[in-house]
Structure 1
Amino acid sequence: MRILAITDIHGSESVKYAVREWLDMFKPEIVTISGDITNFGPPSWARKFLDAIPLPKFAVPGNCDPPNVIEEIKKSKAKCLHFSREKYKDFEFVGLGGSISTPFGTPFELEEEEIYNELKKVIVPRAIIVSHTPAKGHLDSIPSRGSGLGSVSLLRIVKEYQPILFISGHIHESVGVERDGKTVFVNPGPAKNNMCAIIDIPDAYSKNVDMKTEIKVDLISQ
């Protein structure tokens, strides 16, 4: 399964054209969208953006999306993963929108306790997590503010359930790929800056994470 992973669109019209190019160039099977689809609205823009992508897609809102973007995602042709689980092939996708508390008082922020309690209701072992917020200690650093800006609750979920893949966004400065145990962490970088990730997962990986063939990630910047 090949995934085109994007995040942090922030209402950029140019991303619509970039996505078309990536679809033609890399031929992904599905698309994941890890939040901040709009830049503080309007919520309807999120639906239009998602419906322009002609592939199966899984999306969550970000902290810069008004909370009612959730309803626009649900009205769109995308699957809304916020505190929800969806199956594609043999892979279980679980998601989290918004972010933990920020110094900026953005529209969609959540408490750590809510994140953990709600995700516990839907998470399963070996899932693919699509989150706006990173897990604490993984791709969550800003040079001016230091590291460890991710969610403690998400890190706890990772340790307890060992997802095979964790795709996040939010921290524009922490583009990259990390591996910790059986989990691969990916921050594709902000799509508004023409960045994305192409992720290749063997179809059998959902059942056997000890396969010799590992998840492959290519970070794209144009």
Structure 2
Amino acid sequence: MKILQVSDVHSEDNSKFNRYLDENDIDLLIISGDITNFGPPEFAINFLNNIFLKEIPIIAIPGNCDNPESIEAIKRSNAIFAHNKVIFFKGIIIYSFGGSNPTPFNTPFEFSEEELYDNLKNLFNKSPLILDENDKRSFIEDNLRVLLTHAPPIDSEADKIENGAHVGSSSVNKIIKEFNPNLNLCGHIHEAESISKINDTIVVNPGMLKNNKGILIDINGLDIKVNIIEFN
């Protein structure tokens, strides 16, 4: 299965990205937030529904720059609105939470670190099929688990801004270390396009879509190949 991840669209359509979707077989598109730049909501609906017309399933979460009207528009679109949900897709379990940890800019969709941690922990703990420790062990071993966030984990390549400072979420980092998902798909920090690891978890940030980059994830069972690709 081939999954394409992009992030931080910020209300800008991208002809190279659209051409890539037309010319390549993608089983799932994941958008990890900031579909709009504080609106307009019409962009979110049009952007997502035009991709859906290409018969590509879409899973999307809002970012910190998606205002309430834009979030409602994402919900009304043909994308799967995944915020604060556990999504099952063809044998993959996706634990999803949008928005970001607090920023200096007071953007519309921010959460305290405590809120982020509590909500993410609840998602992992409420996964179905986990009845006791033996079932839990089997569930973890037999299923690919993906943590989908807009905020990157702190102290990773995915959260590093231009001056080298780390501005990601301590809660996302803590959740990764506690629950060891196979992948963390994030965004938020435009200049932090990267593939790195926290323990055994692969952490990927495609950067801003305007930079014509995405993450291609090739999955065969529990075998994962991850590459940064450029839209030409």
Q: TM-score, normalised by structure 2?
A: 0.85
Tell me what 2:6 maps to: 6
Deviation by residue 1:52-107 (Cα, 9 ceiling, x = unmatched): 11311110111111034332222111111111111001111121211111111112
Tell me what 2:179 maps to: 161
1:113 aligns with 2:118: no
Deviation by residue 1:154-184 (Cα, 9 ceiling, x = unmatched): 1111111111111111111111101233211
Query: Which has the greater radius of gyration?
Result: 2
Inter-partner Cα distance in structure 1 for 2:34 and 2:73:
13
SS in 2 for 1:186: strand
What CA RMSD, in Å, does the superposition of the two structures yield over aligned residues?
1.6
Tell me what 2:159 maps to: 140
Aligned-pair identity in percent equals 41
Report the alpha carbon displacement of residue 148 of structure 1 after superposing the two structures with TM: 2.5
Segment of structure 1 superposing worse, 180-189 or 18-27? 18-27
Inter-partner Cα distance in structure 2 for 1:70 and 1:162:
29
Tell me what 1:56 maps to: 57
More helix by share: 2
Tell me which of 182, 195, 208 is aligned to 2:200.
182
Report the alpha carbon displacement of residue 133 of structure 1 after superposing the two structures with TM: 0.7
Segment of structure 1 superposing worse, 102-111 or 116-125? 116-125
Tell me what 1:209 maps to: none
Asked whether the equivalents of residues 101 and 113 of structure 2 are also in contact (C-alpha less than 8 Å), the reply is yes
Tell me what 2:191 maps to: 173
Inter-partner Cα distance in structure 2 for 1:183 and 1:68:
34
Tell me what 1:130 maps to: 148
Inter-partner Cα distance in structure 1 for 2:209 and 2:49:
17
SS in 1 for 2:215: strand
Tell me what 1:38 maps to: 36
- Written as runs of structure 1 = structure 2, the 5 A alignment for 1:198-209 is 198-202=216-220, 204-205=221-222
Counterpart of 1:5, as a letter, is: Q
1:151 aligns with 2:149: no
Asked whether the equivalents of residues 59 and 81 of structure 1 are also in contact (C-alpha less than 8 Å), the reply is yes
Inter-partner Cα distance in structure 1 for 2:178 and 2:123:
13
Inter-partner Cα distance in structure 2 for 1:39 and 1:147:
24
Counterpart of 1:9, as a letter, is: V
Inter-partner Cα distance in structure 1 for 2:91 and 2:212:
30
Tell me what 1:216 maps to: 225
1:103 aligns with 2:104: yes
SS in 1 for 2:174: helix
Counterpart of 2:10, as a letter, is: H
SS in 2 for 1:215: strand
SS in 1 for 2:203: strand
Report the alpha carbon displacement of residue 7 of structure 1 after superposing the two structures with TM: 0.4
Counterpart of 2:5, as a letter, is: A
Structure 1: state its 5+ residue gaps.
206-213
Asked whether the equivalents of residues 64 and 110 of structure 2 are also in contact (C-alpha less than 8 Å), the reply is yes
Tell me which of 199, 203, 210 is aligned to 1:192.
210
SS in 2 for 1:48: helix
Asked whether the equivalents of residues 177 and 198 of structure 2 are also in contact (C-alpha less than 8 Å), the reply is no
Inter-partner Cα distance in structure 2 for 1:182 and 1:201:
16
